[in-house]
Structure 1
Amino acid sequence: MISSTWLAAIATLGIIAAYEGWLAVAQRLAPARLARTAHASLREDWFAAISAQPSSEILAVQTLRNSLMSATMTASTAVLGLMGALSLTAPTLGQASTVTAAWPHVTPRLAMELVLLCLLFASLVASVMAVRYYNHAGFIGGMPVGAPQRQRWAAAGTAYVRKAGVLYSWGLRQLLLVVPVVAYLLYPLAGVAAASLLVIALIQFDRYRIENE
């Protein structure tokens, strides 16, 4: 029979997985209604507009540098969290392992700690890749608008800005998903409540709407 702690873990992760699955379907059916897609198009339009305006190179580099610093801060937060989670998981793995067992006994707490590690690692990778793309886009945005080299790399700059923004949003999202997992580790039922509250908040963040509508 499944214990109450396993049920709480399944419910915590199930609520998040169900919402992310619904969001993936909604993004295919009505991408214009979601903030992620709308903001990705916004960044593309921004780069196209800045590329058509002479003497805008400094503004472009400053804007991209600000975005790069935000992604760097997210990556730094993920690294610190990952180091803390590793120190938290190591004793649990040691207690769950035995001399004769090939694999440690998986408890609900150990499973959630591993999920925590995966979320933090995913946030770190996405944020680092966002830094990489913002860095490349900064070089392109710093080229003189009328230079032939700028024209040759314009399409790549637009793609890099879009990818960087999407990766940054993924990295930030993984950090938010850490909250229910940490709440579960403190008290199993708190994870279910935190997951429900997080989904309610994400629904508001993920919806794209114009105030005048």
Structure 2
Amino acid sequence: MNSTIPWLSLFLSLAILGAYELNLSRLSRRQPLATARSAHALLRVEWVQALSRQAGSEIVAVQALRNSLMSATITASTAALALMGTLTVTSTTVAQDMALFGLQQLSTRLVLELLLLTTLFASYVCSATAMRYFSHGSFIMSLPVGSEERQRRTSMAIDYVRRAGILYSWGLRLFLFLAPIVAGLVNPLAMPFAAIALALVLRAFDRAPAGVPPLG
């Protein structure tokens, strides 16, 4: 196989996914309810606001945040286990190719292995940070509704729950980004096709849910 073809496949795959994410980000800014990501972010904000007006909702709020916290915990644990397993399998070849940080051979396989490790680590960090925000948000939402302390920190709870939701979604999304990487490790020519297939799957996931009310 021509040595340039794997590199072209890698760059094309990155361009496909990068263009998709850029277009999705622009659409979310122009039309806040046109994507599931922005619609779900608005839902989390309205959830905090609604429960902050309902006396006696503290236990319900904490239970809901606890469920989200456990989901983020599962994602973080899975990413950590996958990262350790991948390190066990690839550490020897990566060290040899990099020659203990004095790079001797740069190949697409080395780049893909590093991307695999980086993506898993990023997924872990996103999920672990989401756990942190969910945890702090539960402290605020457990404060008695109507208390001065709760009213002072409602905006903080909104921000924390919003951030936690975004980070949790990115933790899951990074798992999906592993598909083209794994396909490239099997056969570099499969990367662009896997990237296109992933973009189509993400398009279905990122479609705004039905019944979202208009803003205003």
Q: Do they fold alike, i.e. is TM over 0.5? A: yes
Residue 129 of structure 2 is aligned to residue 129 of structure 1 = yes
Which residue of structure 2 aligns with residue 185 of structure 1?
185
Q: Which residue of 2 aligns with 1:117?
A: 117
Aligned to 1:66: 67
Q: Residue deviations 1:149-184, cap 9 Å, x none? A: 111111111111111101111111111101111121
Aligned-residue offset at 1:211: 5.4
- Corresponding position of 2:194: 194
Q: 1:76 corresponds to which residue?
A: 77
Q: What is the identity percentage for the equivalent residue pairs of Structure 1 and Structure 2?
A: 47
Q: Which moved more, 1:10-19 or 1:118-127?
A: 10-19
Q: CA deviation at 1:93?
A: 2.0
Question: What displacement does 1:212 show?
Answer: 9.0
May I ask how many residue pairs the two structures share in their alignment?
212
8 Å Cα contact 2:180-2:195 kept in structure 1 = yes
Q: How many angstroms apart in 2 are the aligned matches of 1:189 and 1:92?
A: 22
Name structure 1 gaps, 5 residues minimum: none
Does the 8 Å contact 2:33/2:212 carry over to 1?
no
Aligned to 1:47: 48
Q: Structure 2 length normalisation: TM-score?
A: 0.91
Task: Within 5 Å, give how 1:147-162 maps onto structure 2.
Answer: 147-162=147-162
Which segments of structure 1 move beyond 4 Å, counting only runs of 4 or more?
none
The residue type equivalent to 1:144 in the other structure is P
Amino acid at match of 2:128: V
Distance 1:88 1:17, change over 3 A: farther
- The secondary structure found in structure 2 opposite 1:103 is coil
Change (3 A) 1:137 1:35: same
1 CA distance for matches of 2:24 and 2:104? 35
2:22 corresponds to 1:21 = yes
TM-score w.r.t. length of structure 1: 0.92
2:39, 2:212 within 8 Å by CA — same for their partners in 1?
no
- Measured in 1, the distance between the counterparts of 2:150 and 2:94 equals 53
Equivalent residue letter for 1:167:
L
Distance 1:35 1:185 in 2: 31
